[in-house]
Structure 1
Amino acid sequence: METNHDVIIVGGGPAGLAAATTLARACRDVLVLDTGEPRNAPAHGVHSFLSRDGMAPRELLAIARDELVGFGGRFRLEGAVGAKAVEGGFEVTLAGGDVLAARRLLVTTGLVDELPPIEGLREHWGTAAIHCPYCHGWEVRGKALVVLATNPMSAHQALHFSQWSDDVTLVLDGQPAPDGVDAARLAAVGVRVVEGAARRLVSDDGRLTGVEVSGSQGAVTVLPCEVVVLAPRFTARSAVLESLGVEAADFLMGETVVGRHVPSDPMGGQTSVPGVHVAGNVTDPMAQVIHAAGAGVRAAAMMNMGLIVEDADRAVG
């Protein structure tokens, strides 16, 4: 078993690398484990990240890893498959079978976007098929958008995107039609509402050109568009946490369940298991890249303070 680390971080995205750099700068022995498969890899660039707008996701992470190493932190391209509490901390089992030890554990494994089974959707996800206006809104401004309803919040999503385009169509796809104030707002800003179910995304030489929709009577039409918008189901990558007894829970927007996350203390990401913290999308599915990085810094600061107190108490005897 490898020499005991102060902190092992499972997940090398923005939250994990920001936390690791903070801990390394606090003179902590910190190791980051990562599979090399960032959630936002299909996207052309990271947006709303101060001084780094438009940078490719993998380039941002490469810079962050270099900074981490410069402060003495370490990075290992290998995932963790489980962990357990032991005297003095935790043991983490890696995919290759190695077992590592640490006094504290931070999990920043993010989430999985679960998409509806619509032909062609996966191929366009992160480029011409999107969910977040603050991640992609500027890049799709003025384009023809089709919003596919996946939950009761989709009417709000269509209204939201009307700020970026005056050509927005909401396909109900089995969801109830908006009524009352929601219907009035959509009509007032020019959002069209269409009954029917999305069958497939239509492309021409790799470029999205429309959405094939089947109506209630079986008629099939193609709605021309350049961009598809929908809300996936957000599911936390929580396997390592579950091996420690940390349970995921429903994540709600209003009264609508939109996925699963790992609840934690918002001040430092402490979970239900002492010494195990989380940061980023695994606990906050709505966090953008810059939010996740900030949460990682805060979690690192709280973990470092806990270690300082623990060391001081040990010195007191």
Structure 2
Amino acid sequence: MPNSMMRYDVLIIGGSYAGLSAALQLGRARRRVLVIDAGQRRNRFAHASHGFLGQDGVAPGQIIATARAQLAHYTTVEIREGAATGVKGDEHGFVVETAADPVSGARLILAGGVTDSLPEVPGLAERWGRHVFHCPYCHGYELNQGPIGVLATGPVSLHHAQMLPDWGPTTLFLNGAVDPHAAELADLARRGVTVERTPVAGFFDEGADLRLADGRTIPLTGVFTLARTHITGPLATELGVDIEEGPLGQCIQVDAMQQTSVAGVFACGDVARLAGSVPLAVASGAMAGVAAHRSLIFTA
């Protein structure tokens, strides 16, 4: 390792909810930590975050700002803006390339999140996080039991549609993505879900209303859909950690302590779950931070 290279106990890739939660545990253990953050939170399009105890309804950016302000009190924790562009192992642990200088750490936590590939429906991307959502626990309550649409992207959307009637009368727009069989249609009917087979042409006006291919407009207070996810950044692939392919996309396989298949590498947040939310990301980040610290003590 070059003498000029900065060395840390733990490098954390990603400075959103999971990464900062991991950094907090390690900072409280007085370990030297560097968080490398590209600033692309998955929920950056949402006006408010819900379901996180003590922060319900707070703007996502404000939660991050508060977390950063609290972490600033821990002098062994640093945050560097920018992307991690590469990684390799060395005799000391791991070397991560950044836009500035390379840095070295004995342990590595991957918390860089995932990227959503949205359905190609006109107007959907502009409404993501405002009128179109993926998690009913995060955004369903605020729709005040108004009419809800579920835009199908595959078979898992049938399960999605069966969940939504607890938040409002629900219509499942098949849009050619799935063709339910008789038993599935019966399950949907038992939950009171209306099934619409006419393809979706796009969104109407400025809200959540959907325009169908036959010219009809369906008034809605919100639309839910399941985007396919891809692991953000190259590091997981370069490290060779085991990656799981699920019905909604990719995630890094971890054990109960957030340890990946590569020794000394942990993962947390949405990148380590097939479905995620802010409270789950914070919880997994706390576990990853504790586990990384324990590994420094007991396997050094």
TM-score by length of 2: 0.94
- Separation in structure 2 between the aligned mates of residue 5 and residue 40 of structure 1, nearest angstrom: 29
Task: Label 1:43 to 1:209 Cα distance change in 2 as closer, same or farther (>3 A).
Answer: closer
> Which position in structure 1 is the counterpart of 2:17?
14
Q: Give the share of equivalent positions with the same residue, in percent.
A: 35
Is the 8 Å Cα contact of residues 248 and 274 (structure 2) preserved in structure 1?
no
Among 189, 192, 199, the alignment partner of 1:190 is: 192
- Flag structure 2 segments of 5+ consecutive residues without an equivalent: none
Give the superposed CA RMSD. Answer: 1.5
Alignment of 1:53-132 (within 5 A): 53-72=56-75, 73-94=77-98, 96-132=99-135
Displacement, 1:97?
A: 4.2
> Which position in structure 2 is the counterpart of 1:151?
154
Is the 8 Å Cα contact of residues 150 and 230 (structure 1) preserved in structure 2?
yes
Structure 1 residue identity aligned to 2:211: E
Displacement, 1:196?
A: 2.3
Task: Label 1:90 to 1:250 Cα distance change in 2 as closer, same or farther (>3 A).
Answer: same
Is the 8 Å Cα contact of residues 132 and 208 (structure 2) preserved in structure 1?
no
Displacement, 1:209?
A: 4.7
What secondary structure is seen at the aligned counterpart in 2 of 1:220?
coil
Structure 2 residue identity aligned to 1:148: L
- Flag structure 1 segments of 5+ consecutive residues without an equivalent: 252-256, 312-317
Is the 8 Å Cα contact of residues 91 and 99 (structure 1) preserved in structure 2?
yes
> Which position in structure 1 is the counterpart of 2:276?
287
> Which position in structure 2 is the counterpart of 1:315?
none
- Separation in structure 2 between the aligned mates of residue 300 and residue 189 of structure 1, nearest angstrom: 41
What secondary structure is seen at the aligned counterpart in 2 of 1:234?
strand
What secondary structure is seen at the aligned counterpart in 2 of 1:208?
coil
- Separation in structure 2 between the aligned mates of residue 232 and residue 244 of structure 1, nearest angstrom: 26
- 1:24-47: CA deviations, max 9, x gaps? 100100010101121101111111
> Which position in structure 1 is the counterpart of 2:245?
250
Structure 2 residue identity aligned to 1:277: F
Is the 8 Å Cα contact of residues 119 and 227 (structure 2) preserved in structure 1?
yes
Displacement, 1:221?
A: 2.6
Displacement, 1:238?
A: 4.7
Whether 1:262 and 2:261 are equivalent positions in the alignment is no
Alignment of 1:149-188 (within 5 A): 149-166=152-169, 168-188=170-190
Displacement, 1:220?
A: 3.4
Runs of 4+ in 1 over 4 A off after TM superposition: none
Task: Label 1:238 to 1:250 Cα distance change in 2 as closer, same or farther (>3 A).
Answer: farther
- Separation in structure 1 between the aligned mates of residue 174 and residue 161 of structure 2, nearest angstrom: 11
- Separation in structure 1 between the aligned mates of residue 52 and residue 96 of structure 2, nearest angstrom: 32
Among 209, 219, 226, the alignment partner of 2:221 is: 226
Is the 8 Å Cα contact of residues 236 and 283 (structure 1) preserved in structure 2?
no
Whether 1:275 and 2:264 are equivalent positions in the alignment is yes
